[in-house]
Amino acid sequence: MIEKRQFYIDGAWVDPAAPRDHNVIDPASEDPCAVISLGDQADTDAAVAAAKRALPGWMATPVAERIALVEKLLAVYQRRAEEMAQAMTLEMGAPIALSRSSQVGAGLYHLGNFIAAAKDFQFETSFSEAHPDTRMIHEAVGVCALITPWNWPMNQVTLKVGAAAIAGCTMVLKPSEESPLSALLFAEFMDEAGFPKGVFNLVNGDGVGVGTQLSSHVDVDMVSFTGSTRAGRAISVAAAETLKRVHLELGGKGANLIFADADDKAVTRGVRHMMQNSGQSCNAPSRMMVEAPIYDRVVEEAAAVAKSVTVGAPSEDGPHIGPVVNAVQYGKIQALIETGIKEGARLVAGGPGRPEGFNKGFYVRPTVFADVTPDMTIAREEIFGPVLSIMKFETEAEAVEVANDTPYGLTNYVQSGDTERRHRLARQLRSGMVEMNGKSRAPGAPFGGMKQSGNGREGGIHGIHDFLEIKAVSGWSAE
């Protein structure tokens, strides 16, 4: 049993004020794999106070030096990548091949993009050639609370910590209590890289405890949160009293529009993207919307692809999916699969219960429903598991209407060989991101949503901007 009962505050590992143990569950075995302590108000206050003390010095540190420390962090992360992969596989069930590639790779990718973006960014510049005596200064927001989820641990930690550090902010990280081991390891990386005392602090806790304490803390200037829309609302309410800045990256219910002229890999691509990370991604293309002339063929193909997706233990190498993170999530997914059946959707792959060969662990069968209608629960709620809903549309206008008929607005997808159609849809789909024909966004391109999928943007220069204030100074002299 791994024991991680200390917090990282003011450059040192410290004991909690009033230790309260929490078991971290291995989702493959359903047994405890680690025990951590959850913090209380005293721990939160100590971490925020350390960040507040460190803020003036860190803000005054030249940008080049801040970038250099993030470069050292990146080097430590690269050298200890296998430790990080093993931690994420244990705590949240990502298959080891996925942990080594995408889960660990996300952190490397984001830190590298922040470094490149920061080197080209002018933190101080004149307002315009016509008005050089007005100076624009990009200045750190201040003390930031960073609250991260369990599904892509290092993706979210690095998106927040890397941007905040380069911007000159100090921070308190509260990782998910479901997947805290990777974040505690990351704190070791920050310490080894040599960040000054108090710049980075970590306190474990749950949402109603440390999460609420940080969100309402008078000395916290900004909250950056990734997680459920429900929790995002609660954080916004808690933060309102102090008028702190709140940036949210929340849930999604992505529509994947497949037209008759889509390429021959579109369906396979869509199903496998949905199943990646056991469906536990906010930007998953969970609603496959198919043009009527190819609907029957697509349903048959999607079912075959889902049936070819293997489920295996996280510790086993190979391209399979693992369990979902915990019993609560497993129960929610099973209930929604049952609801889909009761409401009349046609089950064409998977279904309730564990896959064959598994009698324990939070494993879910790769599941596909056809003949889903927009009013069905599985078409409206974020399932956060390997469950795909297929819907039929007759016209482009109908596809846009149904795709936009959701409180979410994170990522939508378009599969079509018609360039003009793709350009039309890019402007009509109400989401922060639109991905077409399997093309990924450019390195450093912003990640974030509209509507109840949140606000703010993460990654690259836009992610750094989220942690900066803009100060206008008049009467600036060149002398």
Judge whether 256 and 234 are in contact, CB under 8 Å: no
From the list 91, 177, 249, 291, the catalytic residue is: 249
Distance CA 222, CA 169 (A): 10
Cβ atoms within 10 A of the Cβ of 82, count? 12
From the list 178, 282, 435, 458, the catalytic residue is: 282
Cα angle 228, 232, 234; round to 5: 120
Residue that is written with structure tokens 């990386």 in the block: 189
Q: Which structure tokens are listed for 220? A: 């916290």
Distance CA 38, CA 23 (A): 10
Distance CA 398, CA 340 (A): 22
The secondary structure of 340-403 as a DSSP string is: HHHTTPEEEE--SSPPTT-SSSS----EEEES--TTSHHHHS---SSEEEEEEESSHHHHHHHH
Distance CA 358, CA 345 (A): 26
Residue 33 annotated in active site: no
**DSSP code for 413:** E
Distance CA 80, CA 91 (A): 17
Residue 282 annotated in active site: yes
Q: Which segments of 278-325 are extended strands (E)?
A: 287-291
Q: Which residues are catalytic?
A: 249, 282
